[in-house]
Amino acid sequence: MLTWIRPTPEERAYIRAMGDRLIEAVERTGVAKAMMVGSVARDTFVRGDRDLDIFMLFDPSLSQEELQEKGLSLARRIAEEFGAAWREKYAQHPYINATINSLDIDLVPCYAVTSATRIKSAVDRTPFHTRYIKAHINGYVDDILLLKQFAKAGGVYGSDHMTEGFSGYLCELLIIHYGGLHQLFEAAACWEPGITIDIEEHGTKQFSEPLVVIDPVDPERNVAAALSLSRMFEFVELVRGYLEAPSEAFFCRPTTPPLTREAFIRLLGARGTHLFSVTFATPDYTPDTVVPQLRKSAESMRVLLDRNGFPANRIDVSMQKDRCMLLFELMVDEVPTICRHIGPPVWSPENARKFFAKYIHGEVFAGPYIEDGRYVVELPRPFTRAVDLLRSGTLLDIALGRHVRRSMEGGWTVDVGAGCWDEEFAGFISQFLERSSPLVRIRRAMRE
């Protein structure tokens, strides 16, 4: 199996040679040192990966503005020297992304600090990670490659906000800590939330995340901070499934084609639930900025819907190039006119008096009456249909992410049931309706 995961010698030689040429070009200018970081530098890249990361290390005495100006100018110069198509991008600070011979190359300016605890921005830490892994990787390259491919196939690879899974660095540390892939699997099968790994035994802080892996180059950082409880235990589930019945299938991402529109309508009808989509223009920021805002906004809307009598079975979000979609599967789409409003206990005289005075002459359907010693009144609801609530301005009164709010202020669309189908989101909608754990997908793929 490793034969198709491991890069070919030609592939490796080519990508490393390109890296060396870029480093030489940077250092020739005398403006900064340069180093390869990431999986190419560590020899832990999987066949077909086309990512090459070159960090340009500047003097820490430069100001942020100087670093940005000098860094970008140098990166542009290098890209042009290589005849590359390039574009400016932003993570914590700007960098240049260039394409040379189908390689996807990032040229990232950072500070050459003396220790990972002295970093001025997150990118300064990366060179330390690369040095640490290179110093400890001895003999584990194949295990790391297998683990990365296993995590990719299971859909739990990537520490971006959409995935909330395992980063490459986390995979490398886990293999180093447990001493190999099999040893990691045996241990992970018994993981519980809150497990802590501290290779250098130098951790000083308490973390609340489900998996805590203290960064060997920074005792105050949890390398697994981005890993969600769900992704962590999807990995555990995959590991147990693999140990029970090892198979190459665990290293191949099952390709489930999206539903057709007809199949979607049939499936939704069988479920009998009420599907609602909220779509709007994608804010012009990176997924790592936008996706958490989509999640937050969808969660606020779920709470709003629930408070208005429309409980959700599930919600999910998707960010595509032009539009974002929030999807709500509701158990109820229409509710009665009345809703209960529970007031104070009658033994709280001042509150009870106010409540009584407010509703005795008000427009109520029933009450005030006393139930278990508390006042209750039955009032008309502002919204009896979920679609009216989702289309109302109320949606802008709740906690949305900043960029999501700005986009929605320009308008949003609410679709209902079969009307939610949208070719741009076909994969997302299909996975939403047919949701299952990675092991279920792999087991089903194996049966076919």
Residues near a second copy, by CB under 8 A? 189-193, 210, 229-230, 232-234, 236-237, 240, 270-274, 309, 313, 331-332, 335-338, 340, 345-347, 349, 352-353, 356, 360, 365-373, 375, 378, 384, 433-437, 439-440, 443
141 or 426, CB closer to a second copy?
Answer: 426
Question: Which residue's entry shows tokens 């860094």?
Answer: 71
Tokens describing residue 257: 């084609």
Q: Give min distance, CB of 231 to a second copy, in A.
A: 9
Would you tell me how many other CB atoms lie within 10 Å of the CB of residue 417? 16
235 or 425, CB closer to a second copy?
Answer: 235
Q: Give min distance, CB of 303 to a second copy, in A.
A: 16
The distance of Cα 377 from the centroid of its chain, to the nearest Å, equals: 43
Amino acid identity at 367: G
The distance of Cα 259 from the centroid of its chain, to the nearest Å, equals: 24
268 or 404, CB closer to a second copy?
Answer: 268
Do the beta carbons of residue 153 and residue 250 sit within 8 Å?
yes
Would you tell me how many other CB atoms lie within 10 Å of the CB of residue 162? 16
202 or 435, CB closer to a second copy?
Answer: 435
Q: Give min distance, CB of 276 to a second copy, in A.
A: 13
113 or 364, CB closer to a second copy?
Answer: 364
Q: Give min distance, CB of 114 to a second copy, in A.
A: 40
69 or 378, CB closer to a second copy?
Answer: 378
Q: Give min distance, CB of 212 to a second copy, in A.
A: 15
Q: Give min distance, CB of 302 to a second copy, in A.
A: 13
How many Å apart are CA 208 and CA 170, to the nearest integer? 17
Q: Give min distance, CB of 155 to a second copy, in A.
A: 11
Question: What 3-state class would DSSP assign to 372?
Answer: coil
Tokens describing residue 254: 């099952």
How many Å apart are CA 41 and CA 11, to the nearest integer? 14
18 or 442, CB closer to a second copy?
Answer: 442
14 or 356, CB closer to a second copy?
Answer: 356
How many Å apart are CA 74 and CA 78, to the nearest integer? 6
- The residue among 381, 386, 359 whose CA lies nearest residue 370 is 359
246 or 349, CB closer to a second copy?
Answer: 349
Task: Please report how the helices 181-188 and 141-153 are oriented relative to each other, as an axis angle in degrees rounded to 10.
Answer: 50
At residue 246's C-alpha, the angle toward residues 244 and 251, to 5°, is 130
Q: Give min distance, CB of 306 to a second copy, in A.
A: 12
How many Å apart are CA 412 and CA 396, to the nearest integer? 11
168 or 367, CB closer to a second copy?
Answer: 367
Q: Give min distance, CB of 365 to a second copy, in A.
A: 6
Q: Give min distance, CB of 260 to a second copy, in A.
A: 18
DSSP code at position 31: S
Do the beta carbons of residue 318 and residue 425 sit within 8 Å?
yes
Q: Is the dihedral of CA 132, 138, 140, 145 positive or negative?
A: positive
How many Å apart are CA 372 and CA 6, to the nearest integer? 69
How many Å apart are CA 143 and CA 152, to the nearest integer? 14
